[in-house]
A and B are shown apart, each in its own frame.
Chain A
Amino acid sequence: MNTVNNMTNPKIKVRNLSFYYENGHQALFNNDLDIREHAITAVIGPSGCGKSTHLRTYNRIYSLHRGQRAEGEIWLDGINILAPETDLLLLRRRVGMIFQRPTPFPMSVFENVAYPLRLHFKMNKREVADRVEQALRDASLWEEVKDTLHKSGQALSGGQQQRLCIARAIVTEPEVLLLDEPTSAIDPVATLKIEDLLLRLKERFTIVIVTHNMQQAARISDVTAFFYKGHIVETGETKQVFTTPKQKQTEEYITGRFG
């Protein structure tokens, strides 16, 4: 069924992943998924089907919350992300994340992007400034903020804040970018900007995006995984999933009959 899972050398291999919330509720059931390198994988499905939960295991961000736990294996280049001995700080330097709501820190635009650099690297001022500029350019934000770098990052517009967060996530050159409905809180024009940006960034990063917007998945992704009630119902090339879905549930969802 999962042709994509037979790909050679995926960047991330998810095997038998199950997830439980603190009240014992099981949110994911035996997920198997391969994430292709330098491609955009879209995770789609109706609200509450576990797509965000699935994504949040890739950098173990769920561990902030007491009582949530994941079972199974998630292999990133031969390292099991879920193994207790995995160093979370190193993991999160390799796997960056963008959230639904933009989260600029209470610092200037420049400091927002410089912050993770200083966190992970010893670097002189010149190099920090250069890399901050480059990251802002990569995030298509430089032209809009180059004269106001000292202003608070929280004063930017929603779409600009989200691109600031993307700049902040890519400045440390992670290998994987996770995006959890990154455009659902911003307007359509800003959304298109971010989609263009992602298409450029996939040359350098492996991208996994959760979206409830099927057009968005169809527009930008190479591979699509359809989630329903915590199960991965179907995965495949985006074109195939959207034109000739193999599963009935996928077809019903894509044609708008539920969700």
Chain B
Amino acid sequence: MALHLPSPRNTSPSMTLRPFFWRKLQNGLVQTFSIIALALAIGAMLWILGTIFSRGGEVLSWDFLTNSSKPYGVPGNGIANALLGTLMITVTAAVIAIPIALAAGIGLSEFAKQSRFANLMRFCINVMMGIPSILIGLFVYMLWVVPQKSFSGFAGALALAILMIPVITRTTEDMLRMVSDHLREAALALGCSRWEMIVQVVCKSARNGLVSGILLAVARVAGETAPLLFTALFADTWPRDFFTHPTANIPVLITETTTNSPFEAMHQVGWGAALVITLIVLIINIVAKTCFREQKR
């Protein structure tokens, strides 16, 4: 390609211009490639969502949401018990994890800061976030299920809580660090104690970000399957004995109905359950994003 523009007058003769052609080609190639990659990623997501919505939509009905799950052949199959079980397990996990994780996040951001101890803790948290969730399930199985001699919904909640703690700790620390030191100094200068400053000014300032972090963690663990296989297991009954008996939940219901049964009717229940858990996670994610956007403003 010829050079269309005259070369600038003030360039000295020793400065040769690089040919535009290759730079433009390079730019075009990279742009095209990233757009294709983006389309692939979104395409995969839409494909998955589309399949879940169309297959799951076929079985979704009021009865499906309000009936308890049943073995193959019994009419009126549903997922209500699993829905309730998932709700109980997730809420219990959140109740256990949130205070611990918030305290840890506050500790890292406000007290430990850049000390060696804090950096070690951050490293451990990163490692914890990378541990495969099935190992967390095994861990709780050995420390809780085996001594208790029983699977239970509570054991499932423990496993999910362990998964949530590092996630919430990280987001809490990040959100608190986004609060400017000017605000901290202003609070201290008024005569706040450190604790009053943290709770009444810093946390209040980061409130939406903290809520958003918690919701994202809840959304992440709500669909976790592996840690529940060793802990909550599954049951066709309503979750009446949360602390002592296997407890129905949506993710394990999906594995049970789709991989452990040869019957199409059971597979359909699995698709319906998949649609329900997808919608739940999607809604929590959207609420969390909205919270976070508020925070950034």
Which A residues are within 8 Å of any B CB, using their own CB?
Answer: 59, 61, 64, 66, 88-90, 92-93, 96-97, 99, 101, 103, 105-107, 115-116, 119-120, 165, 168-169, 172
Contact = CB atoms under 8 A, between A and B. Distances in A.
Interface residues of B, number: 21
Interface string B235-271: 0000000000000000000000000000000000000
Contact of B189 (A66, A92, A101, A115): A92
Interface in B167-222: 181-193, 196, 200-201, 204-205, 207
A162 to B, nearest CB: 12
A89 B192 CA distance: 7
B193 A89 contact: yes
Nearest to A96: B189
Interface of B: 113-114, 181-193, 196, 200-201, 204-205, 207
25 contacts: A64-B181, A64-B185, A66-B113, A66-B114, A88-B191, A89-B191, A90-B191, A92-B188, A92-B189, A92-B190, A96-B190, A97-B185, A97-B186, A99-B182, A103-B183, A103-B186, A105-B187, A106-B205, A107-B204, A116-B190, A119-B196, A120-B191, A165-B186, A172-B190, A172-B191
Contacts of A93: 191
User: Which 3 interchain pairs have the tightest Cβ spacing?
Assistant: A103-B186, A97-B189, A92-B191
Secondary structure type dominating chain A contacts: helix
A103 B188 contact: no
B182 A101 contact: yes
A168 B183 CA distance: 13
Given A120-B191, A165-B186, 11 more contacts: A61-B188, A64-B185, A88-B188, A89-B192, A93-B191, A96-B189, A97-B185, A99-B185, A103-B182, A105-B187, A116-B191
